[in-house]
Structure 1
Amino acid sequence: MANDDSEFLMISGLKHFQFCRRRWALVHIEQLWEENALTLEGHFMHERVHDDSFTEARGSVLLSRGMPVRSQELKITGVCDMVELYKDENGVPIQGRDGRWRLYPVEYKLGQPDIQGADALQLCAQAMCLEEMFVTNIPEAALYYGKVKRRQCVLLTEELRQKVKDSVMEMQQLMLKGRTPKAKMGKACKSCSLVDICQPKLAKQVSASEYIHRAFHEEDEV
């Protein structure tokens, strides 16, 4: 079914996946999640940006917030924080608007520039969805970081696009098998909201769900 999202992966999961494959699996396969101060601040920031009924005109530029996107080819879906539309004779037609427009997605992040490249991966996936939906080409996009209040241009290279495809394929294989990767202790574990569920120090070959199940049974036996 064309509109059935049950087989589609969330674009936002690419950031989790790049950060830690186990974290992605805990959230998207085992459906486990815990908030911490950083994730809550991130939610508040996105709530200020998202408004899927809001399109603002600034001169010749349109700002479309909270635009839903999807790719039938990659089987991914999500929401763009902001898509800026610039009048361009080489652009694409937009329903309800005169002329042709060039699309420029912008993703908003709470902190500072990400050296791991997870943000760029997520942004590229959004752009690839837009390209498929509007039958256009998007050579670059931008990340806006709240902590430094600055935009960072991201070139959507073939290398970055291939990394999106490879990551999505690996995520789909893990989802199909229902397999959660083993825990690996690292520096990022300290700031992860799932550290208490993940238990990276134990590094046992059991799922978080099984760990929680055992913990409850142990409490019952006391």
Structure 2
Amino acid sequence: MPGVHLIVGSSGNSMNDVRLIPLAALQHYAFCPRQCALIHNEQVWADNFLTAQGNLLHERVDSGEPETRKGIRFERGVQVAAPNIGITGKLDLVEKDISSGELFPVEYKRGKPKVSDWDEIQLCAQALCLEEMTGQTVAEGALWYNQTRHRQAVSFTPELRQRTLQVIADVAAMLASGVTPKAVYDKHCHACSLFDLCNPKLLQKDNSLQYVNRLFSTEDFDEETTE
């Protein structure tokens, strides 16, 4: 079948030699580093209404058949990997200009545009995968938001690329450490599907270590025995 599925990686590295970070981990890290560690290191997962809605959107997009319209080839559910920078995943949609060969990734989002640049970072990471696999530059992509039903164009500037590489390095370091960050409760916690498993309110106020240290403190013991 013609199109992006026929692209083979130019890197000589074996993907079995290194643990590649799923692209989804970047978004999990953006939402909450603890959530990212729980999912990708501790293999904890649970669905809620928001994640189920997002899953349905992506399943609908990924299930579409490849097609060509007006000189553009549309490939859906494209598997990619970039061993040199350590990431892998599945792209919602890649558009390929038949005449120029230019690739244009499109990421579908359940909600609406965000104030932060995390969606742009995830999309840029997709572009980096395509670049490593094809050897060609991917200059732009787009984010499509379900709430606004509108595409938002994204240019992969040097600044965005550098920020994306830094985030990938931060996520890789956290996952390699095997350490799950402590719970920090904030207003976003109730939107997390892992809220009940994480217990951020409870764990943030957990003083058990201090209690045990006080219980077995030598100073306290000496004071009690000398009275």
**Which amino acid is the alignment partner of residue 152 of structure 1?**
Q
2:39 corresponds to which residue? 27
Q: Which runs of 4+ in 1 moved over 6 A?
A: none
SS in 2 for 1:161: helix
The runs of 5 or more residues in structure 2 that have no matched partner are 1-12, 207-227
Q: Are positions 1:57 and 2:34 aligned together?
A: no
CA contact (8 A) 1:64 1:83 kept: yes
- Counterpart CA distance in 1 for 2:169 and 2:201 is 29
Where does 1:27-176 land on structure 2 (aligned, <5 Å)?
27-51=39-63, 54-89=65-100, 101-176=101-176
- Structure number with the higher strand fraction is 1
Q: TM-score, normalised by structure 2?
A: 0.80
1:218 corresponds to which residue? none
- Counterpart CA distance in 2 for 1:145 and 1:174 is 29
Q: Are positions 1:13 and 2:30 aligned together?
A: no
The alpha-carbon deviation at position 88 of structure 1 amounts to 3.8
**Which amino acid is the alignment partner of residue 140 of structure 1?**
E
2:9 corresponds to which residue? none
SS in 2 for 1:159: helix
**Which amino acid is the alignment partner of residue 24 of structure 1?**
C
- Counterpart CA distance in 1 for 2:97 and 2:25 is 29
Q: TM-score, normalised by structure 1?
A: 0.82
**Cα distance, 1:141–1:5 mapped onto 2, change above 3 Å:** farther
**Which amino acid is the alignment partner of residue 119 of structure 2?**
D
**Cα distance, 1:13–1:107 mapped onto 2, change above 3 Å:** same
**Which amino acid is the alignment partner of residue 169 of structure 1?**
A
The runs of 5 or more residues in structure 1 that have no matched partner are 90-100, 207-222
- Counterpart CA distance in 2 for 1:135 and 1:191 is 39
* Matched-pair identity in %: 40
The alpha-carbon deviation at position 204 of structure 1 amounts to 4.5
The alpha-carbon deviation at position 5 of structure 1 amounts to 7.4
Look at both structures and tell me which one has the larger radius of gyration over its CA atoms: 2
- Structure number with the higher helix fraction is 2
Q: How many residues align?
A: 194
The alpha-carbon deviation at position 161 of structure 1 amounts to 1.3
Q: Deviations over 1:172-191 (max 9, x none)?
A: 22222211011111111111
